[in-house]
Amino acid sequence: MVGMRPNAAGVSADRNVECMTAATAASAPMKAEGRSPFVRLHELLADIKPKLSAINLSVGEPQHPIPSFVGPVLQAHLNDFGRYPANKGTDGFRKEAAAWLTKRYQLARPLDYESEVIVLNGTREGLFLGAMAAKRYVSERAGKPAILIPNPFYAAYSAGAAAAECEPVYLPTTRQTGFLPDLDAIDEKLLARTVALYLASPSNPQGAVADETYLTRLVKMARRFGFMIFADECYCEIYLNGQAPHGMLQASAPDFTNVVVFHSLSKRSNLPGLRVGFAAGDRGFLARYIELRNIAAPQVPVPSQEVAIAAYADEAHVEKNRELYVAKFDLADQIIGNRYGYKRPAGGFFLWLDVSQHGGDEAATVKLWREGGLRVIPGHYLARDGADGLNPGDGYIRVALVQDKDITAEALHRIVSVLG
């Protein structure tokens, strides 16, 4: 895009990036809350020339090296590009995904790869289509169907709710709620008309992790009121305190009723461009879901699934990847310290910094770009105004620690230098 100054790693697509240029946005005006945060960021910074070399911290695109086995596996399966793959995924991929989930979360029984796992083109399309499938699958609701969304949130959640013609209800996730939805604050009348609830753990952007008690309680609520839980666990392998996050399948075992988890190789294996993920859980829902996917979503190429098989069978590259993120958060602990309300998160790779005392999130974003060459996202671009008129992202910036250690250190020092 004109006005964007990519760093050495380039500016590319995060899971939130929508295929819309600034020119497209200008020709098709939309309410600010319905637009890509990255288009809004481009417009905010387009006419500003930074004083220092650019470092992109706005996009959640991993910049660590891809695993060494990717090329050889693709080469070995090039001929498989010459055939249509099954929409539900190859047997080999679904078996490996089921085995990995069972081992990773120490499930009481192995997942059935035939009925409880489906391949996806990454998780974006899976989370999006899930809303439409849920509306078809759940029993009749007591009022206008609603989909509950943590706020701030990943844009596919709200897009899915809109496509399913459900009311999106945004649940504030603030420091006071532990950066997770407050389950006590959800009215029973709302739960009675809920089709699905999205939950990310670790959360994007705050890195909060839901514990076993929280997840178990949520499962009980879903079963009582008959709605689906869509657990976005894409950051589950980037944990920063030595403790692997608990998973929604653990909380819903042994039958996984009312629960579907979504996983991807984008963050776990530094393969955002591979576009391979999967959904797993409630077999009744997945049977309806695959019916929709068969007519509404593209298949995943077999060579890509073969790379995914190799990735889920290997933990060494995941452990090394995690060590790199831990080292960068060690830097944040040292350089940021207690500024901007910073506290080391449990997981993920974002800083969620309170800049309300520095002119607010847009003003701080502009200043960091102009004075420091740092590209970050204003927090309120990632959230919606609540019923009380408050936006839980207001006054925060999201900083993606996806660059290498040296660039990250430079960026953190610039934040402190510019904001004070």
Strands 277-281 and 117-120: antiparallel
Q: Which two tokens stand for residue 271?
A: 């393969």
Q: How many CB atoms lie within 10 A of CB 10?
A: 10
- Percent of the chain, pLDDT > 90? 90
Residues in the chain: 420
Give the residue carrying structure tokens 């849920």. Answer: 134
pLDDT confidence of residue 32? 57
Strands 377-378 and 277-281: unpaired
Q: Please, which pLDDT band fits residue 352 given cuts at 50, 70 and 90?
A: very high
**Residue 195 pLDDT more than 90?**
yes
pLDDT confidence of residue 23? 34
Which residues on adjacent β-strands are paired with residue 397? Answer: 353, 378
pLDDT confidence of residue 280? 98
Give the residue carrying structure tokens 């387009």. Answer: 46
Inter-residue contact 247 to 231 (CB < 8 Å): yes
Q: How many CB atoms lie within 10 A of CB 346?
A: 21
**Residue 16 pLDDT more than 90?**
no
Q: How many CB atoms lie within 10 A of CB 420?
A: 8
Average of per-residue pLDDT values in the chain: 92
pLDDT confidence of residue 18? 33
118-142: average pLDDT: 95
pTM of the model: 0.91
Cα separation, 231 vs 229, in Å, equals 6
Inter-residue contact 194 to 149 (CB < 8 Å): no
pLDDT confidence of residue 320? 97
For the chain, list the domains and their CATH numbers. Answer: 22-65+317-419 (3.90.1150.10), 70-313 (3.40.640.10)
Cα separation, 21 vs 259, in Å, equals 36
Cα separation, 18 vs 187, in Å, equals 33
Q: Please, which pLDDT band fits residue 3 given cuts at 50, 70 and 90?
A: very low
Residue 86 Cα to chain centre, angstroms: 26
Inter-residue contact 64 to 324 (CB < 8 Å): yes
pLDDT confidence of residue 35? 82
Q: Which two tokens stand for residue 285?
A: 């829902």
Task: Report pLDDT digits (tens) over 249-275.
Answer: 999 999 999 999 999 999 999 999 999
Cα separation, 298 vs 284, in Å, equals 22
Q: Which two tokens stand for residue 24?
A: 């497209």
Task: Report pLDDT digits (tens) over 74-99.
Answer: 999 999 999 999 999 999 999 999 99
27-38: average pLDDT: 64
Q: How many CB atoms lie within 10 A of CB 102?
A: 17
Among candidates 300, 319, 296, which has minimal Cα distance to 309? 300
Report helix angle 302-312 to 91-104, nearest 10.
Answer: 20
Inter-residue contact 262 to 232 (CB < 8 Å): yes
Cis preceding-peptide flag for 303 (omega within 30 of 0): no
Q: Return the minimum-mean-pLDDT range out of 28-37, 186-195, 217-226, 356-365.
A: 28-37
Q: What is the DSSP string of 15-27?
A: TT--S--HHHHHH
Task: Report pLDDT digits (tens) over 385-417.
Answer: 988 899 999 999 999 999 999 999 999 999 999
Amino acid identity of residue 135, one-letter, is: K
pLDDT confidence of residue 276? 97
Task: Report pLDDT digits (tens) over 35-75.
Answer: 889 999 999 999 999 999 999 999 999 999 999 999 999 99
Amino acid identity of residue 3, one-letter, is: G
pLDDT confidence of residue 72? 98
**Residue 21 pLDDT more than 50?**
no
pLDDT confidence of residue 182? 98
Taking CA atoms, 140 is separated from 135, 159, 187, 333, in Å, by: 9, 22, 18, 49
Cα separation, 99 vs 205, in Å, equals 29
